[in-house]
Amino acid sequence: MEELCLKQGETFQWTKQWYPVAVVEFLDTSRPHKIQLLGKELVLWRDGSGKWACFEDFCPHRLAPLSEG
């Protein structure tokens, strides 16, 4: 397994990494799912092309959680 080496003075940026957030087989494809990761509220859903997407759980237009539909 490859180790991550940081240069002196660098800090690991937790929010700039990829993380598994759910087991796809356990998700209902017909609705959005609210999840929390590293203190951030996120929404996970399947888009029109069948791909899973994940964004901040916030609609900038309606000021409401996207996870509510």
Q: What is the pLDDT of residues 42-57, one digit of tens each?
A: 999 999 999 999 999 9
Sorted by sequence, the CB contacts under 8 Å of residue 23 that are 6+ apart come out as none
- In a domain, residue 34? The reply is yes
Q: Is 7 inside a domain boundary?
A: no
With respect to residue 37, please indicate whether it lies within any of the assigned structural domains: yes
The structural domain count of the chain equals 1
Q: Over 90: is that where the pLDDT of 31 sits?
A: yes
Q: Which residue range forms the structural domain that includes residue 53?
A: 29-68
- Residue 30, pLDDT above cutoff 60: yes
Look at residue 9 and tell me if it is in a domain.
no
| 56 within some domain | yes
Q: Tell me the torsion sign for CA atoms 10, 12, 15, 18.
A: positive
- Residue 21 domain-assigned (yes or no): no
In a domain, 59, yes or no: yes
Query: Is the residue at 17 inside a domain?
Result: no
